[in-house]
Every structure is written in structure tokens, then in C-alpha cells.
Amino acid sequence: MNAQYKSCIEAVYRCIEACNVCYHACLKEEHMSNMSKCIELDRECAEICTLALHSMQRSSTFAIQILSLCAEICDACGTECKSHNHQHCQDCAQACFRCAEECRKLIS
Amino acid sequence: MNAQYKSCIEAVYRCIEACNVCYHACLKEEHMSNMSKCIELDRECAEICTLALHSMQRSSTFAIQILSLCAEICDACGTECKSHNHQHCQDCAQACFRCAEECRKLIS
Amino acid sequence: MNAQYKSCIEAVYRCIEACNVCYHACLKEEHMSNMSKCIELDRECAEICTLALHSMQRSSTFAIQILSLCAEICDACGTECKSHNHQHCQDCAQACFRCAEECRKLIS
Amino acid sequence: MNAQYKSCIEAVYRCIEACNVCYHACLKEEHMSNMSKCIELDRECAEICTLALHSMQRSSTFAIQILSLCAEICDACGTECKSHNHQHCQDCAQACFRCAEECRKLIS
């Protein structure tokens, strides 16, 4: 596996985890109706991050294009999560923004 | 691709579609708080059905085991969906039960 | 589900099927060593097509960006498949090019 | 996220990585024809492990059933990998067996 991917893979993995945890927690929130956008983006973000993770681990020739899309979806998910006070949302926002940053380091 | 899989593949594909449509519609429902279990199961069901679809199309040696788990998750999703009056839930329930049935035909 | 996606969903689904069938058949070919690029791209293409399928079925706000990447990977997979004489490769090339075309109709 | 899943999640993640690395390396091997079963199982194993990872991170009610299937596929992949002398195959075998073991700890 390409050594240059190491810190991005770590950030992508943490983002998958944070998105899945936030997704599940949102579905248990008392005022779940406010969380629909967050639930939706948590899933989208976990999915593109999973594709990004596999593409780096397999040294895909499309890794850069996938990371570019991944950064965009991470930004959207991070922005939505940041607007909610729940700890799982704040944690997820942080993981998303860090992931987007690591993806962009590799793209440039 | 194995010809015996044909009607099961069709049912699995229809189930993925119904689950994704129901998932998205549930997130837009006015009383979304009642739909959390449905949202959760729609995603689980779409994911195992996707794995089942790929396993049949690739003639995986684990197709039968995957179909067995798929039938179980389809039953759970169908039962949850059936308890809601929304048309997308009723449609999804029907697709889930048909999918479970087709999976079980191949298992036996 | 958005009606405008209908023919693209159909093309994406046919492409997943063709890629999975071609992937499995390539692994059984006598001269498998010539097929490594084809095997690799069949998998990449099936994966991005699966994400594209789900994104359309769930009316994702990122569907267009995903379709754009999908078209690019379909083109690469189709070009590789077209260079092999096996029927499964020719069938896959056709499904890939048709899928790329349908994706691009929606992007524009 | 359920704390009891911690060491299993770690093992599943390492297994995904090892399978993806082994998959890509097998496709570059000089005598790739010997590696077809390994390539096939690396992909199957990475896919079920990914589903297992997400199911634990989302505290799915089906996590145990998914882990049970995951253990079975890990065993098959580990056994195949163990029979090849390549370092990536030996590393993958070790990651697969450890993953199967961790899955079984949670099942029992």
C-alpha cells in the first residue's frame, strides 16, 4: 500500500466511525425530526469514505478522483453536524473536517 | 451467471430499490420520529441485499449463506414497514417479503 | 424516486451485472494473467455504479457528482474490456459505454 | 458504540486492509493464474468485513449474525492465503484468522 496514503487512511477511517456512531445516535434522539439532514449526510459520508478507504488500500488509479468527491461530501456532512449541539454531532463534524483536509492534501 | 439465480436477483434488486425509496421518503415524513426503526432497517436491508446481488452475479461460493442472512433481514424490514400506512412503507414491505421468499427458494 | 433517473438507473444496473459477470469469468480464463487490468476495473466499476444506483434511488444531493465519477470509471472499464475478445468482456464494454452515456445525459 | 465491540472492530479493520493489499498485490504477481482463488476470496472477505464493521459501529440488531458469516468467510480466505508463500498472503492469512477469532468471541 502506498505510504503517502497513511494519514489520509487513518482520517477516513475515523470519519467512517464517527458518521456511523452519529447516524445511530441521531435515530435515538428525542427530537429526531431535526436530525433528518444529519442522518442522511452521515450515511452518504460513511459510504463515500468507505469507497475512498478501499481505493487507497487497493492503490486504485481513481483514488484521487474518489478523494476529491469524498472531501466535498465530508465538508457537507461536517457543516450539518456542526450546527447540532449533540456531542456525537460535534465529534462527527471534527472527524469530517479532518478527513476533508487529509483528502485535499493528497489531491493537491 | 447462474440461471437459477434469475428470479432471486430480480427480487433482490426490487427490494434494494424499495428500501432506498422508503428510506428517503421516511426522512421527509412529518412524523419522522415514528419512522426511526423503519429508516434503520431500510438501510440494513438495502446493504445485505446489495451484498446478495453481487454474490449471485459473481457466483460466490458464499451466496447461499448470504441469501440466508438476507432473508432474515428482509423479514425484519418487511414486518416493520408493514406496520406503517405510508404507501412507500407498504410497497417496501411487499418487496421485502417477496425477496425473502425468493432467497429461501434458493436456500432449500 | 426522481423519474428523470429511470433510464440511467437501468443502465447503471446493467453495468453492475455485466461487470460482476465479467469479473468472475476473467478469474476463470485460461490466460488469466492478461486479464488483471480487466479484473481490477470490473470491480472498481461495479463499486462506483453501486454507489451511483443507491444515490439516485435515494435522491441524494450528490447524485450528479457521483454520476460524473461513475461515467469516468465506466469509460476506463469499457475501454479495457473492449480490447479483449471474450464475449463477457465485449458485453461488459457495451454496458459500460451505455452507462457512461446515460450518466452524462443527467449531468449536462 | 458498544464498548464490547472494540477489539473486534480493530481486527475487522485490519482484515479489510490486509485483504485489499493482498488483492492488489495478487493482481501484480508474475504467476497470477495461481492466485485466482485468493483474489476472489480477498474481495469477498473485504466486503463482508466492511458490512461487519458498519454493523458494529451502528449497533445493528443483526451484528451477531453478520459476524457469524464474517468469521466463516475469514476462515476460507485465511486458509487460501496461508497456502501461498507471498508475504502479502501470509499477512492476510494472519489478519483473517485473528478476525475470525474476534468475531467468534462476540458470537458466543
Domain of residue B20, CATH code: 1.20.1270.360
Residue A48, pLDDT above cutoff 70: yes
pLDDT number for residue A1? 63
Q: How far is residue D27's CA from residue C32's CA, in Å, rounded to a whole number?
A: 10
Residue C31 pLDDT class (50, 70, 90 cuts): confident
Lowest mean pLDDT among A26-30, A31-35, A86-90: A31-35
pLDDT number for residue B4? 87
- From the list B44, B51, B55, the residue facing D62 with the nearest CB is B44
- From the list D47, D60, D65, the residue facing B51 with the nearest CB is D47
Contacts of C27 in chain D (CB under 8 A): 36, 39-40
Check if A36 contacts B (Cβ < 8 Å): yes
Residue C32 pLDDT class (50, 70, 90 cuts): confident
Task: Give the best residue of D27, D30, D42 to mutate against chain C (max C CB count within 10 A).
Answer: D27
pLDDT number for residue B89? 98
SS3 A42: helix
Residue D3 pLDDT class (50, 70, 90 cuts): confident
Check if D51 contacts A (Cβ < 8 Å): no
Structure ipTM over 0.90, yes or no: yes
pLDDT number for residue D1? 63
Alpha helices, DSSP H only, in chain B? 6-26, 36-57, 63-82, 87-107
Q: How far is residue A11's CA from residue A15's CA, in Å, rounded to a whole number?
A: 6
- From the list B31, B33, B43, the residue facing A43 with the nearest CB is B43
**Which chains border C (3 or more CB–CB pairs < 8 Å)?**
A, B, D
D7: distance to nearest CA of chain B, Å? 23
pLDDT number for residue B1? 63
Instruction: Indicate yes or no: CB of D23 within 8 angstroms of CB of A54.
Output: no
Identify the domain containing residue A103 by its residue range: 3-107
Reported as a single tens digit per residue, the pLDDT across B53-67 is 999 999 999 999 999
pLDDT number for residue A11? 98
Q: How far is residue B32's CA from residue B37's CA, in Å, rounded to a whole number?
A: 10
Check if A2 contacts D (Cβ < 8 Å): no
Report residue D106 as a C-alpha cell: 462476540
Reported as a single tens digit per residue, the pLDDT across C52-100 is 999 999 999 999 999 999 999 999 999 999 999 999 999 999 999 999 9
In chain A, which residue's Cα lies nearest the Cα of C64? A69
Contacts of D28 in chain C (CB under 8 A): 36
What one-letter code names the amino acid at B4? Q
Residue A33 pLDDT class (50, 70, 90 cuts): confident
Residue A84: how many other CB atoms lie within 10 Å: 19
Instruction: Indicate yes or no: CB of D54 within 8 angstroms of CB of B73.
Output: no
Residue where the block lists cell 466463516: D72
Number of domains in chain C: 1
Check if C40 contacts D (Cβ < 8 Å): yes
Give burial (CB, 10 Å; 0-12/13-18/19+) of D101. middle
Are the CB atoms for A14 and A34 separated by under 8 Å? no
If you write DSSP's letter for every residue of D13-50 in order, what string do you get?
A: HHHHHHHHHHHHHHTT-TTGGGGHHHHHHHHHHHHHHH
Report residue C58 as a C-alpha cell: 435515494
Q: How far is residue A80's CA from residue C21's CA, in Å, rounded to a whole number?
A: 39
Reported as a single tens digit per residue, the pLDDT across A8-20 is 999 999 999 999 9
Q: How far is residue C14's CA from residue B48's CA, in Å, rounded to a whole number?
A: 19
Check if D92 contacts A (Cβ < 8 Å): no
Reported as a single tens digit per residue, the pLDDT across D11-44 is 999 999 999 999 999 999 988 889 999 999 999 9
